[in-house]
Every structure is written in C-alpha cells, then in structure tokens.
Amino acid sequence: MRTYQIWHGIAATTDGRSLAHVARGIGGFDVRDRLATLPMPALFIAGYLDRMSVPEESQRMASAAPRGHYACIGGAAHISNVDSAEAFTDRLMAFLVPEA
C-alpha cells in the first residue's frame, strides 16, 4: 500500500503529457524477439502477486534467453525490490555470487 501511495503521489504531480509519453513508451516496449540474442546470464525476477507483469511472462522471458534464470518471490507484487526487499536481494545476490 505504501508503494502505491508513493507512486500515486508522483503521478499526481506529474504533467499529463509526460505521463502520456511514459504510457506510450511502456505500451510499445517489446523486446521479446531480442531475448534469444542475449549473450550474458540474465535474471528475471517476478513477484507472485504481480498483475501488471505476471510471473508466467517473466518465466517465458527467462526461457527465451539462452542463459536466462527465473526467480519468483511469493507475496511480492510489481515492485518486488521495494515491497519484498530482503527476498529480492537474496535472489539477486544468489544470481550474482553463486555458491561454489
């Protein structure tokens, strides 16, 4: 709820035309066909409760990347690094510094 309040406050004070440009950019942003060309390991983290970018989409993207990895955080929503910071950091660090 706190994350929603923060983002709602930002949106409420932003120029309408600027928000329209952001919305157009988000709506037209689709790089799925480029995922297969990623040469590096890539981590796709999903929040289990995310309804904007559902976990299944992140899982599909991870499968499309040659070295893709997928992690899902139960109880997290769209901005999992904020609402589930510890779990997000744990998954990110496990990806960046895998145990030997």
Residue 100: per-residue pLDDT: 55
pTM for the model:
0.75
- Rounded to whole angstroms, the Cα distance separating 66 from 36 reads 6
Chain mean pLDDT for the chain: 89
Distances in whole angstroms, Cα of residue 79 to Cα of each of 41, 82, 92, 100: 22, 6, 14, 30
What pLDDT, in 10s, does the model give residues 8-39? 777 778 787 887 887 787 777 788 899 999 99
What is the rounded end-to-end Cα distance, in angstroms, of the chain?
A: 39
Residue 69: per-residue pLDDT: 98
Residue 3: per-residue pLDDT: 66
Q: Is the pLDDT of residue 5 over 80?
A: no
